[in-house]
Amino acid sequence: MDFSSLIEKRESTRNYDPNRSIPKKDILYCLEVVRLAPSASNAQPFFFHICEGEKAKKVAKATQSLGMNRFTDHAPMMVVISEASYNITAAVGARVRDQDYRALDIGIAAIHFCLAATEKNLGTCMLGWFDEKRIQNILGIKERIRLVISVGYPKEETIRKKSRKPLEKLTDFSVEKR
C-alpha cells in the first residue's frame, strides 16, 4: 500500500468485529514496526502490553468511565503503552532543554503501530481516556501508563472523510513567500 493510501485509510475505529481474532504474525509485524520507530537518543522509553481475552475486557472497562469508550467492549485486543525509563543521554537532554521526549517517543511509536495495523487491514483507536491506577493493577505494574490502543477488524469497510483544520491554521508556509 502506498503511503498516502495508508494515511487515508488509517482512522479511529470504534466498531469492531468481536468474533474475529487477530493473527499473531500480524501483531508481531506491528510490534516490529514499533521497534523501528525513532526516539530521542534512541532511548525507546516505552513498553507495549498486548492484552487479549479476559485481560483485554478488563482493560476495556478501565477506559469507560463517564460513559466514554463503550465500543472497546468489542475490541478483541487492547494494547497498553507504559513509560519506561530514559537512557542517560535522553534524560540529560530533556532536563537541559526542558522537554519531555518520552511522551513524544510514545506518540511516535503509537502511530507506527497504528499505521502498521492499518496496512494489515486492522482497525485501531488510540485512547487517552483511561483509569491509570486500574490498568496498573490489571497489569501488575507501577510504571506510568501513557496510552491505550484498541485493536480489531473493523465491522465496516468504508473510510470516513477526515475532519481537519485547514492548512493555514496549522502552518505559516505559503507558496507566495517563495
Question: Which 8-state DSSP code applies to residue 22?
Answer: P
Say whether 49 sits in a helix, a strand or coil.
strand
User: Among residues 56, 93, 84, 68, which one has the least CA distance to residue 146?
Assistant: 84
12 binds ligand FMN (CB under 6 A): yes
Q: How far is the CB of 92 from ligand FMN (least distance, A)?
A: 27
User: Contact, 148 vs 83, CB < 8 A?
Assistant: no
The phi and psi torsions of 20 (rounded to 5 degrees) equal -105, 110
DSSP string for residues in 130-160: --HHHHHHHHT--SPEEEEEEEE-BS--PPP
125 binds ligand FMN (CB under 6 A): yes
Q: Which is nearer to ligand FMN, 86 or 113 (CB)?
A: 113
DSSP H/E element including 46: strand 46-52
128 binds ligand FMN (CB under 6 A): yes
| Site map 70..109 versus ligand FMN, x via CB under 6 A | ----------------------------------------
Size of the site for ligand FMN (CB under 6 A): 10
Tell me the window of 9-17, 34-42, 50-58, 168-176 that interacts with ligand FMN (CB under 6 A): 9-17
| Site map 149..168 versus ligand FMN, x via CB under 6 A | -------------x------
Q: Which residues bind ligand FMN (CB under 6 A)?
A: 11-12, 14, 69, 125-129, 162
